[in-house]
Structure 1
Amino acid sequence: MKKEQLKELNRWFEQGDHQKIIDEIVALPDTDIDYELTGHLIRAYNNIDDYDKAIRLLLSVQDQGKEDSLWHFRLGYAYYYSGRAWEALQQFEIAYQLNPADKQANNFVQMSKKSLASQMKKEDTPDPVITSSQKYFPSPDAEPLLPFVWVDHADSVSLILNVGSYKNKIFAERADEGFEGNGYDWGSLAAVFIEEIMPELAVQIQFDPEASMFCAYSTDGEALERFALGFKAACEDDTLIRDLFSRAELD
């Protein structure tokens, strides 16, 4: 049944019947809508320009999609056509890193860079550092860093985390103070870690969090790798990370 259903969904996609795909999937019981069907629904919403619904659905399955290049591509696509070029660029970078054979993802990297540069010029602000997938520093082994993701840029490197599923209980312990576990909260936690555990890296490591994403970056690849491995190890030590978080300040 599932095989025939997917075949029909793909046929409707090729015919451009995106609303028919949406109607078919949303009519199913929630228990029947798995990650694969959710992907078809997201694609359909993107294709009828309902990017808000696509983004909400994508974020609802972000734990399953964190290592799926297609998930990152679809999120980047929704961000891009919502006018959120910086967030789109981050997602397309990850999609291309996870699947270097995806030429379309790389094309959207370039398109997002141009869009971002255009936006910044309109705002009459200095041009940002424009990223690309060119490697200049050997990337560390990805496995020990998960769910953090390492991203190479033209003249810098980044460590990112799509927030919402990792270490939520830690942040929940201070929810009454306003902590939500968003990217800014992770930035506050990382700042305490740097100050107390690796103060020698304070100059090299910068933070640029968003609501849905934590981001640390540096022009020094070795420094960021040291931070990445140390911070991930701290996060896995509940006693240590709780102690550090107890001194984090709400941004």
Structure 2
Amino acid sequence: MEKNLLEQLTLWHDNDEFEKIVGKIAEIPEQERDYDVVSHLARALNNLDRYEEALQQLWTIKTEGEHDPLWHFRVGYAYYSLSQYEDAVNAFEMANKLDPEDEDAEMLLKWSRHEIDIITNPQENSMAVQPNAIASVKNDTLANELNNFKERIKPFQFIEHDSGNVSMILNVGVYKDEVFQTRADEGFEGNGYDWESLAVVFLVEKMPHLEDSVHFDPEADMFCAYSDHREALQKFAIGFKDACEDDAVIRDLFSRAELD
């Protein structure tokens, strides 16, 4: 791949301009596309929720991708998104084997196994105490994973409700307050409604595929996002927290927030 093309594809990816990636690569004859080009194409298709097309592209470079953990991760991500969890487990297991430090691959591997467990053993996944020792170990593993997730998104809190819905909340006024102060002259105070305005920009620009699943219900002193899709809110929570921790990214997103 030409260096300039690689840099352009990477820039488009960083800016979530996935359609541009697909369009540019479509201009390149298939016989002239190397491993890196097809990898970029498959990643962009995954980000556009075109998972079957992503898999088709990934299979064309299967031999070259055999020892690439990112190839296996992208295959697993496509299968997971298509709810083909057994295939996802196989792919994430290989990605994890090739790169044990990849936390995302490890997390999605656990989520895939959990989905299989729910499908095959629905009664074992109830909140009741189970006498089976193996089932208890499974529950402990899932509990540890949830705890790790909750630690990762602090100071946001992840709340599970009896109804099955989940919420992500933040008591506002301290965390990232300096970001909101940059537009105090426009009326921004850093309250829950201002956080919603910021979160909406993030959701629309960075995770548009979750717009129908993640909703907001702020109050003056609290930001709240909620969903009846646990996985969707977890993905949003991780992405939004990571964005908040990148000062340049969060200030750029906030520059387009609209005062409620």
Q: TM-score range by the shorter chain?
A: 0.3 to 0.5
Q: TM-score, normalised by structure 1?
A: 0.48
Question: Greater helix percent: which structure?
Answer: 2
Q: TM-score, normalised by structure 2?
A: 0.46
Higher Cα Rg: structure 1 or 2? 2
